[in-house]
Amino acid sequence: MGGDGALRIGLHDSDKFVAAISHSSFPALDFFPNLIPILINETGQSTPPYTFTPSPGTLTETVYGASSAWSPNNNNSNFNLDFPLDENGILIDSVFSRWKINADVDSIIIFNWGITKEVPISIYFDIGTGESFYPPNSLLNSELNSLVQSENFQINFKYLEFGGGHVLTEPKIDSSLIWLNEVFSNVTSSSHEITRMISDFSAYPNPTLNSIVIDFNGTTNGNYLIEIVNMNGEIVKEKIVNSTGENRLNFDISEYESGMYQVIIIDERSGQIISKKFVKI
């Protein structure tokens, strides 16, 4: 998953990476509904109910792979995942929304850091103007610029357009490496110290039905703000903890709606932000 994977992994694990570089990726899933007729055709069935399994065709196998990454569900006997289409070939909105949160770059940014308005990783992406992937990249650039200008987002990103098609050229590589050198030059020793102020962070069980346990190790004196945020970016639960060392919190979520949630921990002293997602079933 080349450039797409680089952006997604970097954004989801921003506590582990300083920067993410993506050449000629497809950072959006708006095209997916256009693939539904092909998925139905691969079942070999002319009328519903359709039976989707990984084996009928390449696209179906690919969608199963994507589902295992973007909409896992250990309680679903269908390969421990939620497939995005129902037996009538209709897109399941609740599943597709989980896809977008996991795979759409703008959705990841808004969901992960829409509250704090600060993206803790630098992003570079480029595209050839003759590529079929050009529109979503150009749109992403516009959306990120809009966030920075109107929503006061703090995000370090660079977007470049090159002539030609879906080919990795030396100008693309050179421009990204020059940019990366500048990013690393701006990383100070203090920022490395900040990345160690919260460690051993986990949220489990995942998926979960009634409760979520949050473990983290605070290494500095001061307050840690713990927030649980829903798919709409709304804080549904928050708690302040003043404790160094190992912390374990158990939140009752039995009354929450099913869907994807985000646990965010903010070290109020250093400003460090780390997060993890979980699914309420």
pLDDT in tens, the chain (281 residues): 688 889 999 998 888 899 999 999 989 888 889 899 999 999 999 999 999 999 878 899 989 999 998 999 999 998 999 999 999 999 999 999 999 888 889 888 988 888 888 899 999 999 999 998 898 899 999 999 998 887 788 899 999 999 998 888 999 999 999 999 888 877 654 444 444 466 778 899 988 999 999 998 877 677 888 999 888 778 899 999 887 778 899 999 999 999 889 898 888 776 677 888 888 98
Sign of CA dihedral 62, 7, 260, 34: negative
Distance CA 52, CA 60 (A): 8
- Single-letter residue type at 115: I
Q: How many CB atoms lie within 10 A of CB 25?
A: 23
211-218 β-sheet, strand order: 198-204, 211-218, 245-252
Task: Enumerate residues 6+ apart whose C-beta is below 8 A from 107.
Answer: 100, 101
Would you give the DSSP letter of residue 133?
Answer: T
Residues 21 and 5 sit within 8 Å (Cβ to Cβ): no
Round to whole Å and give the CA distance between 176 and 126.
Answer: 9
Q: Which of these, 42, 44, 139, 31, lies nearest to 91 by C-alpha position? A: 31
C-alpha 260/C-alpha 278 separation (Å) is 6
Go through the chain and tell me how many residues it has. Answer: 281
Tokens of residue 115, six digits: 């509250």
